[in-house]
């Protein structure tokens, strides 16, 4: 049963990571691209890490999983904010729908 749960988490994490990659390719401007990559990318990576924690199951692995998710949640929004600020400084403007 543990393998099934880990497999579902890995597949869903891969799906969210694929959605993040697809958003980088398909979305029109840098602001929507960074939103897609940070939100879906962090969720996908976190699900895959949780699957690894469930599959291996010892305390050391869970400590690494929790630390990695913590750092992803801490650094991804800051990186997206800095990319957005740099884009605005370079005079990039959000593309508006017509």
3-state secondary structure of 58: coil
Give the pLDDT score at 98.
61
Give the pLDDT score at 7.
96
Q: What mean pLDDT do residues 77-82 have?
A: 90
Q: What mean pLDDT do residues 18-44 have?
A: 89
Give the pLDDT score at 35.
85
- Cβ neighbours of 50 (radius 10 Å): 19
Predicted TM-score (pTM) above 0.95: no
Token pair for 15: 């799906």
* pLDDT surpassing 90 at residue 33: no
Cα end-to-end span (Å), the chain: 51
Place of tokens 């593309």: 95
Q: What mean pLDDT do residues 50-56 have?
A: 95
* pLDDT surpassing 70 at residue 97: no
* pLDDT surpassing 80 at residue 24: yes
User: Which of 26-30, 71-75, 90-94 has the lowest average pLDDT?
Assistant: 90-94
**32-48 b/e with 16+ CB inside 10 Å = b?**
ebbebbbbbbbbbbbbb
Long-range CB contact pairs, 61-67, < 8 A, 24+: none
* pLDDT surpassing 80 at residue 19: yes
């Amino acid at each position: 049963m543990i393998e099934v749960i880990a497999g579902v988490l890995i597949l869903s994490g891969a799906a969210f990571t694929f959605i993040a990659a697809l958003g980088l390719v398909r979305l029109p401007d840098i602001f929507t691209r960074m939103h897609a990559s940070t939100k879906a990318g962090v969720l996908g990576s976190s699900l895959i890490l949780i699957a690894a924690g469930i599959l291996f199951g010892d305390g050391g692995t869970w400590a690494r999983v929790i630390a990695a998710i913590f750092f992803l949640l801490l650094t991804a929004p800051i990186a997206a904010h800095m990319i957005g600020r740099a884009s605005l400084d370079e005079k990039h403007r959000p593309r508006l729908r017509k």
